Each structure stands twice: as C-alpha cells, then as structure tokens.
Structure 1
Amino acid sequence: METLHVGRAKLTWLSGGVTHLDGGAMFGVVPKPLWSRKYPHNDKNQIELRTDPILLELDGKKFLIDAGIGNEKMTDKQLRNFGVDEESSVEDSLQQLGYHSREIDGILMTHLHFDHACGLTKWEDENLVPAFENAVIYTSSVEWNEMKNPNLRSRNTYWEENWKPIQDKVRPFEESMEIHEGLHMIHTGGHSAGHSVIKFGDGEDLFIHMADIMPTHAHQNVLWVLAYDDYPVTSVHQKEDWMKYGYNRKAWYTFYHDAYYRALQFNQDGDVVNQVKRQR
C-alpha cells in the first residue's frame, strides 16, 4: 500500500475496487487524440478508474476519504456496464495495517455517487448495515439532500441502499467545515450540486483532494471536465481556483480514481516536482 506524509498527516491508499468507464465520458468534449495521450484506454475505449479510499491518520484519529465500490452491491448487469472486475477489500487493507473497521472515526464523503458511497454499507446476513460502525459520515447538506431526494437523472447514481442504513451517522455541513485541526471540507458543486473538496494544511505542508473535479492526473487542464458533471462550468471555475491556490503553495494533489498515480506535487508553474506512483 502506498503512503504519503504531509505534515502531521499520514495517507495510505486502501483497495476499494476498480471500474472501467468510457474515456469519452470521462473527458467530456476533449477529443480522443488529445486525452488518449495522457491516459491509456482499452479496445472498448474504456479507461481504468480505481475507487480506492484514502486512510488519513491524524493526531491519533483515523479518517477515510470516500468509501470504495463495496461488495455485492451491484447486479451482474451493473458490474458489466461499469466494468467492475474487482470489488472492495477495504477491510482486508485495514487488517494488513493492524486496524479494524470499528476504529475509523470519520468518513469524509466528497460526494455520494455509487462509486464513492457503495462501501458505506455492507451485508450482514440479509440486512445492509454500516460498514464502519463507529464512524461519523461528513458530507455537504446539498449532497445529502440530493442523495435522499434524487431527480430523474441523479437517481441512477444515488442509491437508497447506500444511505438508509447510515442516515443516523451523517453529519451534513453547509459551505465548509473544519473536521479536525487543519482538515477542512469545502462545498464546491460542479461534478454534483453537493460536491466537496478536502484540504489539509500544517504549516507550509498542504494536500488538496479535488475528488471528481480532478479525478486523475490527466485532468490537470482546467478545461478538461467530465461529461458526467452536472455543472461543468462550475467545475472549470472551481478547478481553476483550487489549482492556482495549490500551485502557489506547492500542494500535493491526491487521487481516488487514478490508476497510475496516488498523488502529485506541483510547483508554481504547474509542473510536477514530486509523485507517488501506484504500485500495479
């Protein structure tokens, strides 16, 4: 498992599963000859996208950033359509580190689409129960409201089985919230109405988790946004703001979906100066 230390924080990438989605959808209006130079695709035009939660250890607390694809949450048709050939093994990852799911203090949900939220619940006998029994779940109030009341389009990604079993553990916030000293969630919108980014700063050390506003290293260009985005222009403006903010502070940018890089650090010109590669 890959790790990264940023100030007081230790980040470890867990095994949360994998999807394979259409490359055109993941890069929106960007022509294939451009995006395919940045990110590999298979003969079905699909790109590999991890769904790997990040374990964030900070001052004796243990947080997860998003929850993985889960297990036995999809039909055979859904598994085929979303290109899932590996489901979650987050509990095994935690056990390898000497931890248990009950030791997770909080889960920072950037948004609640199925590929981030399926891992919030698990099957116990014939019932779905919280996968992390003692964790508080943080997400924006906008996202939480849409999760419970999806519209005609969003009901395909906001699933009842991912929220009903954990509803008493959710702590929604409005525009921003300091989860722990130096650790913030900030509502951005863009990819979804309630999408949030995560920022941690400790002195001059900083990481920013852009979630699906910049799902992979190939999405660094501020204009390269997803066809899945509900508000793509908002994504562009938010990405532009957060890239400028991070570049000026030599921030690390961490990834949940990237199959090749776990994190990248950029200088003021947007050039990569440090990296954590995924061990394939």
Structure 2
Amino acid sequence: MKLYTIETGFFKLDGGAMFGVVPKSLWQRTNPADERNLCTWTNRLLLIEDNKQLILVDTAIGDKQDEKFFSHYFLHGDATLDNSLRKYGFHRDDITDIILTHLHFDHCGGAVKRDGDHFVPAFKNARFWSNEKHWNWAVHPNPRERASFLSENILPIQESGQLNFIKEEVPFSPNIDIRYTNGHTEAMMLPQIRYQGKTILYMADLLPSVGHIPLPYVMGYDVRPLVTMEERQDYWQEIVDNEYILFLEHDPVNACCTLQQTEKGIRLKETFRLEEIFD
C-alpha cells in the first residue's frame, strides 16, 4: 500500500459559518478572516494505492458550475486534481474506486463533469462509493442542506451505473474500515486506514482544521451540532488513546495532525505532512 496527498486548490467560506457559536475573537487566532469575513480553506484529498486498487477519497468542488456559483467561493491557487495525480504518475482514468465521504458539493463536485449539454462521471473507470442512508438523505434534501446537495453532482453517477453502496460494519478492504458520523450530515463516512503499523483517520468535516479541535468549535453547517460534539468527544479520546494520525481535508496549512490530553482538554499535539511520517 502507498498513500499520496492530492492537493486541489483553495476556496473561501464565511468564518462565522465555519465556527458556529464561537466568537470571531477566538477563531480568528487560528483562521484569520479577510475584510469580507471569509476564511481560506483547501480541498486536500487522499489517494490510496492498494494492490490493484487506486482509491481516491472525495473529489473536491470540480469546475462544471457556472460563474455565479463560483463567485461565492473564490477558488484560487495553482494546484489541481489532475496535476496532483500527474505528479505521482497517475491519470484520473487510472482511478478504480472513489469513496465519497458525503455528498456536499465541496466533497463530490469533482466526481462529475460537463460533456456538452450533459453531466457525466469525471472518472470513467471508477466505482463510486456512498452508503444508502446518506444517498437517500442527499437525493431528498432537507431545506437546510438543499444548497449543498446538487443533483448534477449526484445523479449522474447513479445513472451511469457506477454507484455502489458500502454496508455498515463491513470493511471496505482488508486495510480500510469505514467509520460513520451523523452530526454534520446523515451517515458521513470516515475512512480509517491501517498503514505501516499506524492508523490514519480521514476526518472529512468532523474536523475541518486544527482550529476546530476544542469540542464546542462546531460548524454552523452541521445539521445536529450537539451530536457532533458527542461524536467528537468519543472520537477525540479514541484518537489520543490509540495515537491515530488525522488527515485534514480542509485545513489550508496543515495536512495531518495528532492530538494529546492537556489540562484544558484534548488539544493539538503535532502537525506534519503525511510524507514526513512515511518517507
């Protein structure tokens, strides 16, 4: 097995929305906002080469929406999914499997592309993996999440026959388990990878950045914020007890981190690039 960090560029979201009830005077210490109160985030993906499988976790925002849509998110930076794959000698047609942690547009938008007047899967040889609970939640969206679940990001992978469902409590592969959380959205999936004697947990939106480590630092986007806090409390203790490495999808600076117990509760221990641990 080999792991690769796939950088896809930066975007911006409202700082208050990203930190919920936490005052700006606190969250801006780790995630400074611009004059419009927007903070910079990234879409950092994980590529897993495991025997004959080449597995990509999430697909970032993509580029098929119109100018009005993208004007809200200020995409910037030189990194792209294709260039990052090329750096390691891969092409998107080499991808055999894509695990979609959840179907919010910033996690799955790149799964689909425009082909003339149609939307088609952007990875023609890949199986796309969701789970039945979350899929049903996304295709029948509640008013709170409707703007995040876009049919053009979702339905083409079903219509092409490439959609597959992961079953709960069934390992994805011998080296990859799927964990579930329900605070941010229904049945969000966190891939947990066993690699070179260590455990790597892909955090998706359970931990967007190191600035979100304190338990009350829950995003305003979460549909069940109190459930998120309970889930984080349980996960944080497990992470500390077992010395997990956390892979951060949205932190604009830090790719990975570990946690430790302190007098103030569980806090950041170290930050590093994935390659620094396994090179």
Q: TM-score, normalised by structure 2?
A: 0.89
- Contact 1:121–1:128 (8 Å) recurs in 2: yes
For residue 90 of structure 1, report the CA deviation from its aligned partner: 1.2
- Contact 1:200–1:207 (8 Å) recurs in 2: yes
For residue 110 of structure 1, report the CA deviation from its aligned partner: 1.0
Task: Report what 2:235 is aligned to.
Answer: 242
For residue 18 of structure 1, report the CA deviation from its aligned partner: 2.3
- Contact 1:140–1:187 (8 Å) recurs in 2: no
Task: Report what 2:38 is aligned to.
Answer: 46
Separation in structure 1 between the aligned mates of residue 9 and residue 108 of structure 2, nearest angstrom: 12
Separation in structure 2 between the aligned mates of residue 40 and residue 11 of structure 1, nearest angstrom: 31
Separation in structure 1 between the aligned mates of residue 170 and residue 211 of structure 2, nearest angstrom: 29
Give the one of 74, 90, 113 matched to 2:81. Answer: 90
Residues 1:275 and 1:86: Cα distance change in structure 2 (over 3 Å): closer
Opposite residue 246 of structure 2, the aligned amino acid is Y
Separation in structure 1 between the aligned mates of residue 78 and residue 223 of structure 2, nearest angstrom: 26
- Contact 1:260–1:277 (8 Å) recurs in 2: no
Q: Structure 1, residues 92-140: CA drift from partner, whole Å, max 9, x if none?
A: 2212221111211211111100111110011233322111112111222
* Deviates further, 141-150 or 262-271: 262-271
Opposite residue 224 of structure 1, the aligned amino acid is Y
Separation in structure 2 between the aligned mates of residue 123 and residue 92 of structure 1, nearest angstrom: 19
Opposite residue 18 of structure 1, the aligned amino acid is F
Task: Report what 1:220 is aligned to.
Answer: 213
- Contact 1:254–1:263 (8 Å) recurs in 2: yes
Task: Report what 1:230 is aligned to.
Answer: 223
Report the number of matched residues: 269
Task: Report what 2:272 is aligned to.
Answer: 275
The unaligned stretches of length 5 or more in structure 1 are 1-7
Separation in structure 2 between the aligned mates of residue 113 and residue 87 of structure 1, nearest angstrom: 23
Task: Report what 1:173 is aligned to.
Answer: 166
For residue 190 of structure 1, report the CA deviation from its aligned partner: 0.9
For residue 67 of structure 1, report the CA deviation from its aligned partner: 0.5
Question: Which portions of structure 1, spanning 4 or more consecutive aligned residues, are displaced by more than 4 angstroms?
Answer: 267-271
Which secondary structure does the structure 1 equivalent of 2:191 belong to?
Answer: strand
* Deviates further, 116-125 or 19-28: 116-125
Which secondary structure does the structure 2 equivalent of 1:213 belong to?
Answer: coil
For residue 259 of structure 1, report the CA deviation from its aligned partner: 0.4
- Contact 2:44–2:249 (8 Å) recurs in 1: yes
Task: Report what 1:101 is aligned to.
Answer: 92
- Contact 1:266–1:274 (8 Å) recurs in 2: no
Task: Report what 1:3 is aligned to.
Answer: none
Separation in structure 2 between the aligned mates of residue 38 and residue 90 of structure 1, nearest angstrom: 26
Q: Structure 1, residues 152-200: CA drift from partner, whole Å, max 9, x if none?
A: 2322111111112111212223434311112111221111112122211
Separation in structure 1 between the aligned mates of residue 79 and residue 142 of structure 2, nearest angstrom: 28
Which secondary structure does the structure 2 equivalent of 1:122 belong to?
Answer: strand
Opposite residue 257 of structure 2, the aligned amino acid is L
Separation in structure 2 between the aligned mates of residue 12 and residue 40 of structure 1, nearest angstrom: 28
* Deviates further, 224-233 or 56-65: 56-65
Opposite residue 48 of structure 1, the aligned amino acid is T
The unaligned stretches of length 5 or more in structure 2 are none
Separation in structure 2 between the aligned mates of residue 203 and residue 75 of structure 1, nearest angstrom: 43
Separation in structure 2 between the aligned mates of residue 238 and residue 78 of structure 1, nearest angstrom: 32
Which secondary structure does the structure 1 equivalent of 2:230 belong to?
Answer: helix
- Contact 1:17–1:68 (8 Å) recurs in 2: no
Opposite residue 44 of structure 1, the aligned amino acid is R
Give the one of 13, 28, 52 matched to 1:21. Answer: 13
Q: TM-score, normalised by structure 1?
A: 0.88
1:58 matched to 2:55: no
Task: Report what 1:5 is aligned to.
Answer: none
Task: Report what 1:152 is aligned to.
Answer: 143
Separation in structure 2 between the aligned mates of residue 125 and residue 219 of structure 1, nearest angstrom: 41
Task: Report what 2:181 is aligned to.
Answer: 188
Separation in structure 2 between the aligned mates of residue 124 and residue 88 of structure 1, nearest angstrom: 23
* Deviates further, 20-29 or 233-242: 233-242
For residue 201 of structure 1, report the CA deviation from its aligned partner: 2.4
Opposite residue 225 of structure 1, the aligned amino acid is V
For residue 59 of structure 1, report the CA deviation from its aligned partner: 3.2
Q: Structure 1, residues 12-50: CA drift from partner, whole Å, max 9, x if none?
A: 222323220111110000011111112222111111111
Separation in structure 2 between the aligned mates of residue 274 and residue 81 of structure 1, nearest angstrom: 30
Which secondary structure does the structure 2 equivalent of 1:155 belong to?
Answer: coil
- Contact 1:17–1:70 (8 Å) recurs in 2: no
